[in-house]
Structure 1
């Protein structure tokens, strides 16, 4: 990673590591294991107890099972390291409220409605936000066709979702010529 100001001396303060792993199950479902780990580079007092540098401040996990329609069929969480043990783990089974949500249909908004603020844990709820793109990345090219588009004649899902894959751009012209647009499609205006 390139430093913002390479000529300035820096010292590390904090690290947040996010990890998402997706597994295909024999029964046709998928398991997602997502984790968030925060560490400090110096000792810090937490709830009156010193936490050593490098020991997690937070270590939290989400466990999901997802079906072929990208709907969550099972969900739970674990909090292994936390600043306030008596309080942090007291959200109980709040993340079971993810069951029934679809990763591609209003997922982030639904998570906010069900688990924001005091309804859940800030860190676990934030971790939920990366799940749709991480899961799609796991499926891309193997479960989801990223070359030909869908049966209804729509282009592959990833086109027009980022600047590199603009349908009127050079990348799409080169790697997805069937879906390239010589001129940008007009943006619909509100009536």
Structure 2
């Protein structure tokens, strides 16, 4: 179903852009470079100065290295544009706390526990939340087997994680027939 088109005239106010890139390294590891950029369509008074329309309010980067199991082996952050120059970067290398976390197992919750609120930067912590699905997308079909499941006989990880790939649905019946499950029979009300 297409998204509803606006029926009134609009003017842009703000844009937040996420960019996630994943690179295979020659040593068998993978680099994840993620960025968040906020811009305004108008000049904004900010921290005693004026930020011009189109200049970033925030421009931040996370860099992770992960292994083939998607465990973080190195992590760092960088803030290039920020509203409060003297304070925004004071979290130092807090994002090194991502080392040891696995993007497939409890990553989002662990990030919030370690870096949520005043323990980190709200924007960098939010950027972390898009990393699991972005990195999985990068690895799907090459590093992660999305067709046959794992060696323990479990189905491919993506099944039952969204509406289209529910195991009792037509998509799984057609493209993953081995893993399809029939719907439970409806209860008889008579």
- Give the shorter-chain TM-score range: over 0.9
CA distance, structure 2, for counterparts of residue 171 and residue 112 of structure 1:
34
**8 Å CA contact retained: 1:71, 1:102:** yes
The Cα shift of 1:105 comes to 1.7
Give the Cα–Cα distance (whole angstroms) in 1 for the partners of residues 160 and 149 of structure 2. Answer: 13
| TM superposition shift of 1:71 | 1.0
Render the CA deviation track for 1:50-106: whole Å, top value 9, x for unaligned.
000000000000000011221111100000000000000111111111111111121
Unaligned runs of 5+ in 1: 186-191
TM-score normalised according to structure 2 size:
0.93
Kindly state the Cα deviation for residue 184 of structure 1 after the two structures are TM-superposed. 4.4
Partner of 1:188: none
Q: 2:42·2:54 contact (CA, 8 Å) conserved in 1?
A: yes
Runs of 5+ consecutive residues of structure 2 not aligned to the other structure: 186-190
Map of 2:129 onto structure 1: 129
Question: 2:188 matched to which residue of 1?
Answer: none
1:172 & 1:53 partners in 2: Cα distance? 47
The residue correspondences of 1:1-191 to structure 2 (distance < 5 A) are: 4-184=4-184
C-alpha distance after superposition, 1:105-126 (max 9, x if no partner): 2111111111111111000000
Q: Give the distance between the partners of 2:39 and 2:124, measured in 1 at CA.
A: 16
| Runs ≥4 residues deviating over 2 A | 2-6
Evaluate the alpha carbon distance shift between residue 76 and residue 160 of structure 1 in structure 2; reply closer, same or farther with a 3 A threshold: same
Find the aligned partners of 2:113 and 2:152 in 1 and give their Cα distance.
Answer: 32
| More displaced stretch, 79-88 vs 102-111 | 102-111
Counting matched residue pairs gives 184
